[in-house]
Amino acid sequence: MTTQRAEKDQGGGISAIWIIPLLALALGAYMVVYTWMTEGPEITITFNTAEGLVAGKTKVKYRDVDMGLVEEVRLTDDLEKVVAKVKLERQALPMLREDTRFWLVTARIGMGQISGLGTLLSGAYIELSPGAGAEGARDFIALERPPLTPTDAAGLRVKLTSERATSVSAGDKVLYKGYEVGRIESREFDPEKGKVNYVAFVDAPYHELVNSAVRFWNTSGISLTASAEGVKVRTGSLTTILAGGVAFGVPPGVTAGKPVEHNTQFKLYSDYEAILQNPFTYGLNYVVRFDQSVKGLLPGAPVEFRGIPMGRVERIMMEENLQESLVRDMQGEGDPIPVLLYLEPGRLGLPDTPQGVEYLQTGIRTSITNGMRATMQTGNLLTGAKYVGLDFYDGLEPATQGEHFGYTSIPSIASGIGQLEQKLATVLDKVQELPLETTVDTANAALGNLNQNLASLQKILDSQSTQELPADLEAMLEEIRIVVSGLAPDSDLYQSLNSSLLRLNKSLGNLEALTRTLAAQPNAAVMPSSAKPDPIPEVTQ
């Protein structure tokens, strides 16, 4: 019998049996690394509700490609929102930026479109819209409804502000001359300013049509205008009539402005007529204090310079006036009533720019120095509607611009109907002061006397002597004619008169000679004349 002896392998190598665990370890490490290398990010998306969200089922898609899966749906700690934990593919990692948007895609039926029908069968899913901001974001808030414009879409985004909520809502169209060029993206109410803000997006290349001179107006509904020219109906497309919409364009008579940047603020006018009434952008406020009744002067009343509209009445500043009166404790003293005006340089042909406003300011300041004053005029005698007129007047005391309630003032004078009323009242007062009763009594007495005098005159005219007066006058005129004919050059009287004049002339000559003699010799009347004899004309040979 052979006995085998166990011998210790002195070679000392690692047993091959260890290959298996090592291999498993390497495989495990590889799998860990692989998993770490290929595993996508984990993000959270906050929703208002969990409607349509199912953990392990609801997918996240981008361009209909699965990018992840909702792993968990839970409420936030304050129970106000719902948080969905989503495991994304690693491919989605570059898409996770601070402005990346997520929203739930479900079947939606709106006025303009029907979308998401496919989700009726496949179930809702979360759409991803990659952003362009900083990377690294992991917590997101889902949009309530799908964004109307992709984040990276080419075009122009502007902000519209309206004084009141209109029928325009998110998703409505933005039209240019009736052609759809964009859409309303959102609508929000600003409780602080009491205004409704809209965000509108105009697609490229139509965004180049938007400049600083364009106006946006609501084209929803039907505009019906009745005037002396007839009835005008202005509508947008059927969709905008039903669903609302916004149009923009440059008002007639206004030149195109400069290109605008993203998020430029525009006013959303209620309709196109409102734009025609207020086509200008720039203007400035003035205050006019009227020391007369402002009945009939309503906000929106025109302000005219010699018949040319240059602005409107904003409002009657009763509130400020009352506060000032309270501060000064001067109630009941009949302070002038301040009226706030809004003047636009564009209406006078000046540029509709800040520089045009400066021109208008300078012009008004100079004109006031030259006698321009504001007056309240009656525009419609039937309705009593009034407007503010600016014109030049002579013989006024010098006036300058002051400042009231933070606005520059324009001096005013009473005019128009108000002035007439004052004059009429003055005349009536004077008439009332006239001693009419005494005057009438005196006039009656005078008329009685006149009546008596006329009766006496009638008696004189009826008398025979008066009747014979014309015949006597005729006889007298005949005698005058005879006398005048006697004065003719060939008449006896003329000859006699001529003869008398000749003698008189001669006597005057003698008297002149006597005067000369007496001047030369005062005693010539009683003493012999010492005058020299006349020189005798001699004959020279």
Partner 1 sequence: MKTTGLLVVAMLLLAACGGKQIEPNYYLLRPSAQIESRQLSPSEDFALGKITIAPYLDQPGLLLKTGEGEIRPARHHLWAEPMYEGVHSFLVKEISRAKGEDILPARLMRDAIVVEVRVDELHGTTDGRAVLVGYWWLRRNGEILSAYQFSESKSLSREGYQALVEAERALLEQLAEKIAASMVLPG
C-alpha angle 228/229/234, rounded to 5°? 115
Q: Which stretch binds partner 1 (CB under 8 A): 77-85, 173-181, 318-326, 522-530?
A: 522-530
Q: Can residue 536 be called a binding residue for partner 1 (CB under 8 A)? A: yes
DSSP secondary structure code for residue 329 in this structure: T
Minimum Å gap between C-beta 481 and partner 1 is 21
Edge-to-edge strand list for the sheet holding 59-62: 101-105, 125-129, 59-62, 65-75, 82-88, 42-47, 139-141
CB closer to partner 1 out of 79 and 526:
526
CB closer to partner 1 out of 398 and 535:
535
Q: Can residue 527 be called a binding residue for partner 1 (CB under 8 A)? A: yes
Q: Which residues contact 398 (CB under 8 A, 6 or more apart)?
A: 369
Max intra-chain CA distance, the chain: 237
Q: Can residue 505 be called a binding residue for partner 1 (CB under 8 A)? A: yes
The answer to whether residues 236 and 271 touch, using CB atoms and an 8 Å cutoff, is no
Q: Tell me which H or E stretch contains 509.
A: helix 492-520
Site residue total, partner 1 (CB under 8 A): 20
Q: Which stretch binds partner 1 (CB under 8 A): 50-58, 307-315, 319-327, 509-517?
A: 509-517
Q: Can residue 526 be called a binding residue for partner 1 (CB under 8 A)? A: yes
Minimum Å gap between C-beta 536 and partner 1 is 6
Q: Can residue 534 be called a binding residue for partner 1 (CB under 8 A)? A: yes
Q: Which stretch binds partner 1 (CB under 8 A): 170-178, 272-280, 431-439, 520-528?
A: 520-528
CB closer to partner 1 out of 150 and 522:
522
437's tokens = 């009763």
291's tokens = 């020391």
324's tokens = 């000032």
CB closer to partner 1 out of 427 and 511:
511
Minimum Å gap between C-beta 506 and partner 1 is 7
Site string for partner 1, 451-490 (x = CB under 8 A): ----------------------------------------
Q: Can residue 35 be called a binding residue for partner 1 (CB under 8 A)? A: no
Q: Can residue 510 be called a binding residue for partner 1 (CB under 8 A)? A: yes
**Options 509, 515, 518, 522; binder of partner 1; rule CB under 8 A:** 509
Q: Can residue 538 be called a binding residue for partner 1 (CB under 8 A)? A: yes
Minimum Å gap between C-beta 529 and partner 1 is 7
Which contacts of 323-328 are long-range, i.e. CB under 8 A and separated by 24 or more positions? 324/405
Helices (H), 248-353: 272-277, 318-328
Q: What is the 3-state secondary structure (H, E, C) of 356-424?
A: HHHHHHHHHHHHHHCCEEEEEEECCCCCCCEEEEEEECCCCCCCCCCEECCEEECCECCCHHHHHHHHH
Q: Can residue 400 be called a binding residue for partner 1 (CB under 8 A)? A: no
CB closer to partner 1 out of 39 and 512:
512
For residues 472-483, one letter each, b for 16 or more C-beta atoms within 10 angstroms of the residue's C-beta and e for the rest, the string is eeeeeeeeeeee
Q: Can residue 519 be called a binding residue for partner 1 (CB under 8 A)? A: no
Minimum Å gap between C-beta 480 and partner 1 is 23
**Options 153, 204, 502, 518; binder of partner 1; rule CB under 8 A:** 502
Q: Kindly list the distances between the CA atom of residue 138 and the CA atoms of 79, 126, 141, 329, 532, in Å, as whole numbers in the listed order.
A: 21, 15, 10, 64, 157
Q: Can residue 80 be called a binding residue for partner 1 (CB under 8 A)? A: no
Of 352, 372, 359, whose CA–CA distance to 306 is shortest? Answer: 372
Q: Using CA atoms, how far apart are residues 26 and 33, in angstroms rounded to an integer?
A: 10
Contact residues: partner 1, CB under 8 A: 502, 505-506, 509-510, 512-513, 526-529, 531, 533-540
